[in-house]
Amino acid sequence: MSYHVYISNSGSEYLSKFVMDAETGKLTPEADIPLDSSPGAVATTADGTLMFICLRGVKQYQSFRVDKSTGALSSIGAASVDQAGPYLKTDNTDRFLLATYYGAGAVSVHKINDDGSLSQDPIQWIETEEHAHSIQLDRTNRFAFVPHTNPPNAIYQFRFDEATGQLSANDPAKIQPETPEGPRHFIFHPTRDLLYSINENGCTVSAHHFDPDKGTLSSFQVISTLPEGWDSDSKSTAEICMTQDGRFLYASNRGHDSIAIFSVNEDGTLTAHGHQPTEATPRFIEVDPTGNFVLSVGQNSGHLSTYKINHENGQLEQMERFEVGESPLWIQFVEKQS
């Protein structure tokens, strides 16, 4: 089995493209995929046949058909937006595309039409507060969460109607950390009712209990992503990911330029297990679909590094390094068809 790997380069007008061998994790570089403008966030449908890319320079969400054999992208169309969202995510039915807006402080929902195109206008636009950074739904497709960095230092909680694509405020409408952590991105535990947020301003990870009936969060641990005693005026976190068995969690440190390594305990708390040096300003990291490798791109290095996961202790062993485009910020996998 193999995977197409796409790297979105916000400082270049193309995606870098690789094929990854699922057994060994080895990457084979392929030709770059040109785009109409510099790309940002990327989302795919669950089967990988449709891809949606935020084209930041022209303020569009462009839809593509994915040839899963070759990895080639064929443009379907584009929906224009007033602002380019920093995060895109399809709902679990693949009928709606959700986005957040950092500057505008808002969330939108676009309908995904039968031909893969997007509704030209969002079917819903909800104002929250500035610095809305990401959005995802729980496994039941009933609840959505939107972290906001400082200010307002909050995670908004929504109900989601998968029949209509409509979001509505949950009760309470938001939760806030006791200290100015600045939640940015998050990940659900694959099998347990737990959610972990990476906090950009606090350089921490917060563990939350997730109530699957009410769709609400309650924090029970905040743990640093940095080594004890390390301090700098230039520090923040960016991305969080987890192995598919739910045993190990990884978080990227910008400034310290490392991947923080954590194990997940029986009670859901995290235990720190050191750091793996990585690319300069690691804006995005991701565990591959097999759960055996971590990929990391450096916003300031313009490179991609790959690491093998030690499943005994979660430690990372560097494997390969490749030059990609300028300011890479997203990694997307699509299973390759033979």
Contact 279, 303 (CB under 8 A): yes
Indicate if the pLDDT at residue 231 is higher than 90.
no
- Residue 232 pLDDT class (50, 70, 90 cuts): confident
**CA count, 13 A, side-chain hemisphere, 255:** 16
Residue 146, judged by CB atoms within 10 A of its CB (0-12, 13-18, 19+), counts as: buried
pLDDT at 145: 98
Four-residue CA torsion sign, 33, 35, 40, 46: negative
In this prediction, residue 146 carries a pLDDT of 98
Alpha carbon of 34 to those of 8, 9, 118, 164, 325: distances in Å?
A: 11, 11, 21, 34, 11
Separation CA 129–CA 240 (nearest Å): 22
What pLDDT sits at residue 229? 87
**Mean pLDDT along residues 140-152:** 98
Residue 170 pLDDT exceeds 90: yes
Closest CA to 44 of 114, 94, 7, 115: 94
Among residues of the chain, what percentage have pLDDT more than 90?
97
Query: Model confidence over 295-335: pLDDT tens digits?
Result: 999 999 999 999 999 999 999 999 999 999 999 999 999 99
Identify the pLDDT of residue 234. Answer: 81
How far apart are alpha carbons 24 and 145 in whole angstroms?
Answer: 35
Q: What percent of the chain has pLDDT over 70?
A: 100
Asked if pLDDT for residue 283 goes beyond 90, the answer is: yes
pLDDT tens-digit map of 56-84: 999 999 999 999 999 999 999 999 999 89
Mean pLDDT of the chain: 97
Residue 178 CA: distances (Å) to CA of 153, 218, 241: 9, 12, 24
CB 262 within 8 A of CB 270: yes
The pLDDT assigned to 233 comes to 79
Checking if the pLDDT of 30 tops 90, the result is yes
- Which CATH fold topology does 2-335 show? Methylamine Dehydrogenase; Chain H (2.130.10)
Q: Which two tokens stand for residue 276?
A: 């793996």
Alpha carbon distance 129, 262 (integer Å): 31
Residue 338 banded pLDDT, cuts 50, 70, 90: confident
Q: And the tokens for 262?
A: 């954590």
